[in-house]
Amino acid sequence: MNIERLPRLLSRPQCCMAILLTMGVLSGTPQLAPAVEPATRPNVVFIAIDDQNDWIGHLGGHPLAKTPHLDRLAEQGTTFLNAHCQAPLCNPSRTSLMLSLRPTTTGVYGLAPWFRTLDDWKDRVTLPQHFQAHGYRTLSAGKIYHGGVGGPAQRVKEFDVWGPAGGIGVKPEKKLIPPTPMGNHPLMDWGVFPHNDEDKGDYLVASWAVEQIQSAKHDEPFFLAAGFFLPHVPCYATQKWFDLYPDDDSVLPVIDENDRADTPRFSWYLHWSLPEPRLKWVQENNQWRNLIRSYLACTSFVDAQVGRILAALEKAGLAENTVVVVWGDHGWHLGEKGITGKNTLWDRGTRVPLIFSGPGVKSGQRCNQPAELLDIYPTLVELCGLKTREDLEGISLTPQLKDARAKRERPAITSHNPGNHGIRSERWRYIRYADGTEELYDMQRDPREWINQAGNAEFAKVIEEHRKWLPTGDRPPAPGSKHRVLTYDVGTDTATWEDSPVRRQDPIPQ
């Protein structure tokens, strides 16, 4: 595909859709012809980590993060240091990744709907289905899609084999932290309490994945998806993982208490009223350090589960012929910019781990080029020699997997509801909100995104270059959209957050 044309294609989803329909590629019947004999194709182990930001050892997002297994995988393969989600929220991010389509193309922006309920996407061939159609046995455990995928008839269409659902697993009898604002949501909890790692949902998911690897037939390739729930809240961990992190303020991220003074008011609308507490609440309730230690403890625990799967591949003699990809679905704030949680267009909300290893992947590489999660689909297709698809919006990362210095023209683009987009190039972060307000950060000089340079005339040209990549003509939220859905009416300057109007004079919810 001509890279020069991409911004234009992106800015005209309807036009793009018409082209794709003409090509017959959205009809639901994939044009499949095996490109490589199935027996010689590599296996795929596809590992998702929920709400995992860049607090991963080698990503440097937190100086104390301990993730030895992910760091070793990165050493064995290629890790992307500038990888970003397409939506800073589970459902739209995962929908985008599994279809290799942007939220602005699918209209899926909120925690609902499940894309199969939409006429345009009900028969769309997902990443695992494309592998299934090429003779792969597809297996899934834990959180790969957001929520259930429907009844048994639909489940077998999505994956051949289903393992345990994973999730939280063992819970304390009552919440460990004081009641949180916005309704004391049951998921808003964290801390240490006596339990066994073996009773956690993620442990069971890893155990099941290990069993599948041990019993895999060596003459039939498999696509094994394992989705870890932690460090999603509630961040419960056992003492052993807490003990990896000091019980003092050295764990706290460095923040500017006045950081939001130069961010547009509209930036608040993206996370207007949510169960995730603000920084003010965690500070006042003496929960900031506890939350950070809990999140880091859960990250290290999940890292150990990834390690169990990787060890099983080695032991089974499958490591040489298995492509492993690890990704997080979006980032998470832990006090930065005055909030905890997701739903932002800054690096802390969009930057994620993305690691590939295995056949076709050069080892020991760290790539600074912008990468997007929707690139995973075409990358795996190419690495495994499947027939390429012309209807994906991702661009294969295989050039970077061979040579990390290979340039990527396209920045990473994240959208949170129509009209709000973050554009991340190698050096800059540019954000434009639906009301036209903007932010610009020089990520080399200001990696914490403290100084908004959008009003600095010196950078007018930088802004102009980044604006070219903004999706336009965004699809409105698809039928059934709800939970964290934000729309904006330019005529009345009224934003609507989860069906309620937000006006200029409304106080920012704390």
> 51: phi > 0 → left, psi -120 to 50 → alpha, else beta; which?
left
Catalytic residue, chosen from 85, 90, 235, 367, is: 90
Site string for Ca ion, 150-169 (x = CB under 5 A): --------------------
Which region, judged by CB under 5 A, interacts with Ca ion, from 10-18, 71-79, 258-266, 490-498? 258-266
| Measured CA angle at 392 (ends 46, 92), to 5 deg | 65
Whole-angstrom distance, CA of residue 350 vs CA of residue 147: 21
Nearest to 39 by CA among 137, 119, 113: 137
CA distances from 365 to 10, 44, 133, 221, 380 (A): 30, 20, 32, 26, 18
Helices (H), 215-322: 239-242, 265-269, 279-284, 288-315
Could you give the CA distance from residue 149 to residue 337 in angstroms, rounded to a whole number?
35
> Exactly one of 146, 271, 330, 421 is catalytic; which is it?
146
Q: Is the link from the previous residue into 231 a cis peptide, with omega within 30 of 0?
A: yes
Shortest distance in whole angstroms from residue 493 CB to Ca ion = 24
Helix, strand, or coil (residue 339): strand
Residue 337 CB, shortest distance to Ca ion, in Å, is: 8
Number of residues that this document lists for the chain:
510
Cβ proximity to Ca ion, 145 vs 469, nearer residue: 145
Q: Which of residues 125-144 bind Ca ion (CB under 5 A)?
A: none
Distance between the two ends of the chain, CA-based, in angstroms? 47
Site string for Ca ion, 207-246 (x = CB under 5 A): ----------------------------------------
Q: Indicate the residue among 20 and 168 with the shorter CB distance to Ca ion.
A: 168
Give the x-and-dash track for 79-98 against Ca ion (CB under 5 A): -----------x--------
146 has catalytic annotation? yes
Please work out the total of residues on this chain that contact Ca ion, with binding judged by CB under 5 A. 7
Q: How many CA atoms lie within 13 A of 357 on its CB side?
A: 23
3-state class (DSSP) for residue 79: strand
Q: Judged by CB, which is closer to Ca ion: 26, or 373?
A: 373
Q: Are 254 and 210 in contact (CB under 8 A)?
A: no
- Indicate the residue whose CB is closest to Ca ion: 90
- Closest to Ca ion by CB, 329 vs 391, is 329
Least distance from C-beta 484 to Ca ion, angstroms? 12
Q: How far apart are CB 233 and Ca ion at their closest, in Å?
A: 10
Site for Ca ion in 15-54 (CB under 5 A): 50-51
Exactly one of 262, 426, 435, 442 binds Ca ion (CB under 5 A); which one? 262
Residue closer to Ca ion by CB (options 187, 316) is 187
Residue 265 CB, shortest distance to Ca ion, in Å, is 13
Is beta strand 161-162 parallel, antiparallel or unpaired with respect to 235-237? unpaired
Rounded Cα distance, 476 and 485, in Å: 10
Which amino acid appears at position 322 of this protein? T
In the list 162, 272, 450, 459, the residue contacting Ca ion (rule: CB under 5 A) is: 450
Closer to Ca ion by Cβ: residue 136 or 301: 301
Q: What is the DSSP letter of 487?
A: E
The CB-of-495 to Ca ion minimum distance in angstroms stands at 21
Is 276 among the residues that bind Ca ion (CB under 5 A)? no
Task: Tell me whether residue 262 or residue 435 sits nearer to Ca ion (CB atom).
Answer: 262
CB of 450 to Ca ion, least distance (A): 5
Catalytic residue list contains 15:
no
Q: By CB under 5 A, which span of 297-305, 416-424, 448-456, 458-466 interacts with Ca ion?
A: 448-456
Task: Give CA–CA dist 259/450, Å, rounded.
Answer: 6
Which residue in the set 259, 336, 391, 474 belongs to the binding site for Ca ion (CB under 5 A)? 259
Q: What is the CA radius of gyration of the chain?
A: 22
Beta strands of 99-160 (E only): which ranges?
137-142
Q: Which of residues 323-382 bind Ca ion (CB under 5 A)?
A: 329
Residues 387-426 that bind Ca ion (CB under 5 A): none
Q: Shortest approach of Ca ion to residue 452 CB, angstroms?
A: 6
Looking at the Cβ atoms of 262 and 426, the one nearer to Ca ion is: 262
Contact (Cβ atoms closer than 8 angstroms) between residue 475 and residue 107: yes
Largest distance between two CA atoms of the chain: 65
| Nearest one of 505, 507, 450 to 260, comparing CA atoms | 450
Cis peptide before 253 (omega within 30 of 0): no
Name the minimum Å distance from CB 49 to Ca ion. 9
75/262 with CB nearer Ca ion: 262
Tell me which residues touch Ca ion (CB under 5 A): 50-51, 90, 259, 262, 329, 450
Please identify every residue annotated as catalytic. Answer: 90, 146
